[in-house]
Structure 1
Amino acid sequence: MTDRTAELEPPAIPAQPKPPGPLKEFWNSFKENRGAVIGLCIFAAFLFIAIFAPWIAPYDASEQFRDALLQPPAWQEGGSWQFPLGTDPLGRDMLSRLLHGARFSFFIGIIVVSLSLVTGVVIGVIAGFSPKWADTLIMRVMDIILSFPSLLLALVLVAILGPSLINAMIAIAVVLQPHFVRLTRAAVMSERARDYVTAAKVAGAGRFRIMFLTVLPNCLAPIIVQAALSFSTAVLDAAALGFLGMGAQPPTPEWGTMLAEAREFLLRAWWVVTLPGVCILVTVLAINLMGDGLRDALDPKLKRS
């Protein structure tokens, strides 16, 4: 009897594995791109340096050693391990200035991306839900801004506002803003006709709630990727403005300003020009690699099989 009852019982269904959460799924997709993981590690290292630069740097960024002007790095003849990366024309330790320079570059990137992201997303959402005439007006203004070379427009704005680090950040944010406006508007236009938006309207949701709480969260993936790539653009443009004397002013240890101060010593002391340039190169490359990984992980159409 017991055997017969056992035969009539349905076979046990194996337990299904629990699906991974959104963060784990994102990380699984992101880590498939080895270049993106390397970029993330380098970015994290520079971020750590930027945060703890005052404690890591052996000297103050402005401290001068008048008996060690243009001293070469420690591994070259005439160098000393007191200044592992050498000194600049005023006898300031290059290692300390490069470490403090990371703070300014990351500060510039965070402020510029935040300003351009917030204003660009708000304008883009408004354009996506506006009547045709208002949408056309907003987008034509953005097209006019995009028609100018970005660095030239930033130079004009800084010339109007006055050379300083704050004005340079404002100018770069204005230059980057149209990219966020166009991207956000395109994403909103593709989302506003979907069924969940219609259901929200039928449920009585207000216009503001539909715009910023219903539609916008579903448009964040391409915006996040654009923000990561804009970070590297902001660092590059700030360095270019600093090199031209329109950004951070001496003795600020910003990498572009360090290049400008040292350009006349290019043939005599290679390290005062090469080392800030290498820092800019490595930082921008790491952010671009990380941006590629974010794009692959956040856009389902680009995920690798």
Structure 2
Amino acid sequence: MINYRLNGVLFLQPIGNPTLIDPERILREAYVGLHFNTFDIYLGQKFVNWGKIDILSPVNNINHTDNTVLSLDNYFEASLPDLLCQARFYLSDSINIEIVYVPFFHPNIDPIKEVVMDQVFTISLPIIKTQHFDVNAGFMDKEIGLFDKPAHSIHIAINNFSDLVDLSAYYSYYMDQSLDFDISNIKEEIIEDVAVDNHFITGTAFPGYNRAHSFGLGASFYFMDFLISSDAAFKLTRDREGTQMEIKNSQFFYGIQIERTFLRQVRGQLNFFHRYILNSDTEITSDYSPPVEIYIKTVIDEHYFYCSENISLLLFFNLTDNTIRGGH
């Protein structure tokens, strides 16, 4: 059997600076599904929503997202569809395996702040020679087109469904859509003199994206009248030791979701998230002198990267008949 799906979206932001949706984002899902006795295949631009929890699942890393302030694509996560091939194999009535291949890379849409480092300062200490620093560098954005960068990302999931508990295991080897930086073009030249060393820092850093491994588990079950769901994932980045300031460290991230329907119409949902960044206190290694290293790392941490740990608690509710939503 063959089926297909084709849809699009068009919006205009009239408040503030008028903004029309980018033309390449008008087309949403556009794919063909081929269904056989023991497997299904989907080809085209598609959403793939993995994970047991509804909001910010750590295992749901296939589609890129829109993190800008105005995001009408998805109420919770602002997911965007990607060109991919998805295959689902049914090993039995309760077990299936999913494999997703994403050929091209689409980064998350982030409001990347362009930071110009234009500063002159001097460090004078009694024991060492005076150090004079002339900084003329910056962090700039760089647009990546729809088919500019290959990804060759592979995602695998094994799902088991039963009357007591649903279980899933996930693995991904993929181009991480979240932001890193390439700072290789920022150079430091040191000219030594008798009384003072002059440091000249020039060049431009651009967004850089790296491969990552993700290992995840998911489970959901009913306890009394409550549906309890949980996802956990370990993301292993290229900077395994946490010594490179321009690449995000590996992290552990899990979420727990509890939901129940009250009075047959009101659905309440409570979500708890915990993200821990590994090796956040590890000493940085670089080719820069210590003051320049601290200067660049401070810019990256303050403007772009996360804190070492964050915990969130969300409460959502909606009236099912009238689609009234609220939350805090």
* TM norm structure 1: 0.27
Flag the structure with larger Rg.
Answer: 1
Decide which structure has greater strand share: 2
Decide which structure has greater helix share: 1
